[in-house]
Amino acid sequence: MNQNRKRVNRRKKRQRNQAVLIASILVIIGIFVGIKFIPRQQQEHVQIANPSENQNGTTDNTESNNKEQVENNKDEENDKDKVEENNLDNSGYLSFEEDPNADDAAIVAENTKGLLNGTKHYPVRTDGKKVVYLTFDDGPSTTNTPQVLDILDKYNVKATFFVLGSSIDKNEEAKEILKEQVKRGHAIANHTYSHDYSYLYPNRVMNVDNIISDLEKSENSMKAVLGKDFSTRVIRLPGGYWSWEGRTPMKEAMEQDGYYNVDWNALDKDAEGKPKNADELLQCTKETVEALGPNADSVVLLMHDTYGKEETVKALPRIIEYLQSEGYEFRTIK
């Protein structure tokens, strides 16, 4: 009996020892698993702590989010580069390709030259339109240019202003008017700095060095107002290109520097002969336009917006209305 009790006690003790051993093994395994996997789970938890939700309200996985973020960053960088490319320091002045109101100066210059020297005949355009280019020389002035701008706005017409560097530098108000011309969508062209015939054409011969220097000086005056990236390739020589000797060297210099000289083939004669009133200026405009013939489809009209041209301002509304009645569309030269 005693021996049976002892056997039972030994068996129980063995079972307890086995249970303790198994429990110890399980504890050790648990500690090992915890050490190996818990940090990874914590790391994953940190990575998805603030996931972005997709359109269905579910969260995307980390790898997908990282890829998307990289692509977004690339897109933002590309957009920034495009903005910087278009953000020129030129007061927003548009090239002729960007400007819906402008025609290519290269074509306008070639057509006008051909019409003046007889190598071309109307019609010269290829789009079937009748176009007139209103051009104003010698400004900006503080007296007449603002009124010209307001009249052009009233008729929703754009013009090309052949400005003088010396007129720009005359005062601060003139500088602001130049900015306003650009703001209102008009074209800016270069009419030299000085307009000094004796300096530009000594003995009636073109002095190429003096002319180019004067054009560059005038453009620098424009840049000082409109921004360092402003430029214009459109020029008009005082008195007109065909009035002077020595044209071949000047032609070569213009080609080298990328200039396009645009003369005129109609005018209101506000700088010719005796002073004229508004009625007479309108009549001169009609006569010179009609002299081009019924097929005229590209007309460059010369006027002036400088000081002392108040009658031009008075005539301008009727000049515009006359040209409209003849079926002309108004465009600029860039």
Task: Give pLDDT, residue 27.
Answer: 54
Task: Give pLDDT, residue 189.
Answer: 99
pLDDT range class, residue 234, cuts 50, 70, 90 = very high
Residue 35 has pLDDT above 80, yes or no: no
Q: Are 110 and 262 in contact (CB under 8 A)?
A: no
Final residue before a domain boundary, out of 86, 119, 138: 86
Task: Give pLDDT, residue 14.
Answer: 54
Rounded distance between C-alpha atoms, residue 161 and residue 250, angstroms: 22
Rounded distance between C-alpha atoms, residue 313 and residue 243, angstroms: 27
Final residue before a domain boundary, out of 25, 59, 86: 86
On the CB side of 64, how many CA atoms lie within 13 Å of its CA? Answer: 8
* Same domain, residue pair 14 and 132: no
206 φ, ψ (degrees, to nearest 5) = -60, 125
Q: What is the mean pLDDT of residues 45-51?
A: 36
The answer to whether residue 94 sits within a structural domain is no
Query: Peptide bond preceding 275: is omega within 30 degrees of 0, i.e. cis?
Result: no
Task: Give pLDDT, residue 253.
Answer: 98
* Same domain, residue pair 209 and 323: yes
* Same domain, residue pair 126 and 275: yes
Final residue before a domain boundary, out of 86, 110, 142: 86
The answer to whether residue 97 sits within a structural domain is no
The answer to whether residue 93 sits within a structural domain is no
Please identify which of the residues 186, 214, 304, 305 carries the catalytic annotation: 304
* Same domain, residue pair 138 and 15: no
What is the per-residue pLDDT across 273-328, written as a single tens digit (0 to 9) for each?
999 999 999 999 999 999 999 999 999 999 999 999 999 999 999 999 999 999 99
Look at the chain and report how many structural domains it folds into: 2
* Same domain, residue pair 19 and 138: no
* Same domain, residue pair 168 and 299: yes
Domain extent for 210:
102-333
Rounded distance between C-alpha atoms, residue 225 and residue 227, angstroms: 6
Q: Quickly list DSSP for 160-184.
A: EEEE-HHHHTT-HHHHHHHHHHHHT
* Same domain, residue pair 82 and 162: no
Please identify which of the residues 137, 138, 270, 297 carries the catalytic annotation: 137
Residue 240 has pLDDT above 50, yes or no: yes
The answer to whether residue 92 sits within a structural domain is no
Q: Mean of the per-residue pLDDT values for the chain?
A: 85
Residue 83 has pLDDT above 80, yes or no: no
pTM: 0.76
* Same domain, residue pair 132 and 191: yes
CATH code assigned at 132: 3.20.20.370
User: Is 60 marked active-site?
Assistant: no
User: Is 304 marked active-site?
Assistant: yes
Residue 54 has pLDDT above 50, yes or no: no
Long-range contact pairs involving 268-277 (C-beta distance under 8 Å, separation at least 24): 268/301, 268/302, 268/303, 268/312, 268/315, 268/319, 270/303, 270/304, 270/309, 270/311, 270/312, 271/137, 271/304, 275/311, 276/311, 277/311, 277/314
What is the per-residue pLDDT across 113-154, written as a single tens digit (0 to 9) for each?
999 999 999 999 999 999 999 999 999 999 999 999 999 999
Task: Give pLDDT, residue 270.
Answer: 98
* Same domain, residue pair 201 and 299: yes
Distance of CA 287 to the CA centre of its chain: 37
